[in-house]
Structure 1
Amino acid sequence: MTTTVSIRIIDVKLDTPTARELIGELNVELARQYPEEGANHFRLDPDEVAPGKGAFLVAEDTESGRALGCGAIRVLTPDTAELKRMYVRPVARGRGVGSTLLRALEERAVALGVERLVLETGTRQVPALGLYYGAGYAEIERFGEYADSPLSMCLAKPLVPAGVTG
């Protein structure tokens, strides 16, 4: 039986050791699962997650202070942001870290004024797809740099501003 962990979500700059470590682990995992040429889309620039343009969030275990996972959003258009670099360390999977991070990223997107969140994940990322579908995301046509990537799936979710019921 897995148990949830007590976590806090913190803002972290993309060029910090914690962010680099988590993203490095994610890149290794993705490269292992998708060894095909051109299958991975690793780019995320610090400017894209700067205040007012996006965010890079880290989930920390409140007891140990250990980073458990991360995720980012970057604003694409005035009404749409993209979820990027979502990752939970294997030791923390199945314990609510991913869903907590996802909710925090959605809240941050709403605070930035966007009405829709889009994302790309790999077709082999079955647990990630389960998380996103369970959170209300639906498949959309592949977009942007993912348009010609047969190993990519793109999803979207309309966001409801705080205080608005639907």
Structure 2
Amino acid sequence: MTENISITIANPTDEKVLPIIEELSANLYLRFGSDGRNSFTDWENNNSKYVFAIAEIDNEIVGCGAIRPISETIGEVKRMYSKYPGKKIGQTILAFLENKAKTTGYSDLILETRVKNQEATHFYIKQDYKVIPNYGKYRDRPEAICFGKSLK
């Protein structure tokens, strides 16, 4: 497998991307007892504020990530997943999403992950995300940790 990662915008309901979403959901369920699907149900395909991206290496979908609007200027990162650790797939997806967020009009990105998900918390800190107070439906959930990053 070469390290040539290509990122493209896709429709999360497209049959070709469903396997990576299913793999992410199964992975989350095995590790944390929840698959994260409920937080991805309000997707709007014809709204430019919603961005779903896939990563491919040698025509294999190896990762995904998304942004959805929280407000006109704040986007929420969702469904981040890398099939193969250590290949900079997540970093490449997140950089793509951040650039797309800027051109879409977002000034800030926020996200939630589980406190137990040490890989994710370290990853976001390494990408210059800062811990922020839990927001929205995560506000009173001690198992959640939220991060934010200014895109300015």
TM-score of the superposed pair, with normalisation by structure 1: 0.84
Residues 147 and 4 of structure 1, relative CA distance in 2, 3 Å threshold: farther
Task: Indicate the larger mover: 92-101 or 140-149.
Answer: 140-149
Task: Indicate the larger mover: 42-51 or 98-107.
Answer: 42-51
Task: Indicate the larger mover: 95-104 or 142-151.
Answer: 142-151
Q: Are residues 1:112 and 2:104 paired?
A: yes
What residue number does 2:59 align with? 65
Identify which of 2, 6, 9 aligns with 2:7.
Answer: 9
Residues 51 and 5 of structure 1, relative CA distance in 2, 3 Å threshold: farther
Q: Name the CA distance, whole Å, in 1 between partners of 2:97 and 2:63.
A: 12
Residue 17 of structure 1 aligns to a residue whose secondary structure is coil
Residue 18 of structure 1 aligns to a residue whose secondary structure is coil
Displacement of 1:19 in angstroms is 2.5
Residues 150 and 106 of structure 1, relative CA distance in 2, 3 Å threshold: same
Q: Name the CA distance, whole Å, in 2 between partners of 1:49 and 1:76.
A: 16
Listed as ranges, the matches of 1:85-164 within 5 Å are 85-89=79-83, 92-160=84-152
Displacement of 1:148 in angstroms is 2.2
What residue number does 1:29 align with? 27
Displacement of 1:122 in angstroms is 1.1
TM-score of the superposed pair, with normalisation by structure 2: 0.91
What one-letter code is carried by the residue in structure 1 that aligns with 2:69?
V
Q: Would you say the 8 A contact 1:69–1:86 is kept in 2? A: yes
Q: Would you say the 8 A contact 2:25–2:36 is kept in 1? A: no
What one-letter code is carried by the residue in structure 1 that aligns with 2:26?
V
Q: Name the CA distance, whole Å, in 2 between partners of 1:4 and 1:135.
A: 23
* Bigger-Rg structure (1/2): 1
Displacement of 1:46 in angstroms is 6.3
Q: Name the CA distance, whole Å, in 1 between partners of 2:45 and 2:102.
A: 15
Output the aligned Cα RMSD: 1.8
Segments of 4+ moved more than 3 angstroms: 45-51
- Unaligned segments of structure 2, at least 5 residues: none
Q: Count how many residue pairs are aligned between Structure 1 and Structure 2.
A: 151
Displacement of 1:128 in angstroms is 1.3
